[in-house]
Amino acid sequence: MEIGLNHYLILSTILFAIGLVGVMRRKNLLLLFFATEILLNSVNIAFAAISHYYGDLTGQMFAFFVIAIAASEIAVGLGLLIVWYKRHGNIDLESMTSMRG
C-alpha cells in the first residue's frame, strides 16, 4: 500500500482537530502553547504534502516560515509566562483577567 496525499491530509486534519480541542479546552497557558504548536505542525504537514504532490517548493517554504514564526512566538510566550508565574505564582488562564503594566 502506497502512502498518498490523502493519508497526509487525513493525518493533518486529525492533528488539527486535536490541537483545536486543546486550544478550546485548556486552562493552563503552557498546555495552550502546546496545543497551538500541534495546530501549526498540522498545517506544516499539509503544506509539505501538497508541495511534494505538485512538485513545487512553495508549500515547503511556507512550512519553513511557519516553523520560524512559531519558534519566535514560543520564545516570547514563554518569557511572558515566566514573568507571570514569578509575579502571581500560577499560570491558569482564569486568573489572567487583566494585564496591567
* pLDDT value at residue 42: 96
* pLDDT value at residue 100: 58
* pLDDT value at residue 89: 82
HSE of 48, CA atoms in CB hemisphere, 13 A: 15
Domain ranges of the chain: 5-93
pLDDT beneath 70, residues of the chain: 96-101
* pLDDT value at residue 17: 97
Q: In terms of CATH architecture, what is 5-93? A: Orthogonal Bundle (1.10)
Place of cell 495546530: 39
* pLDDT value at residue 91: 77
Residue 19's contacts (CB-CB under 8 Å, 6 or more residues apart) are 35, 36, 37, 38, 39, 40, 42
Q: What does pLDDT average to over the chain?
A: 88
* pLDDT value at residue 67: 92
Q: Tell whether pTM > 0.85.
A: no
* pLDDT value at residue 2: 85
Q: Give the number of other Cβ atoms within 10 Å of residue 15's Cβ.
A: 19
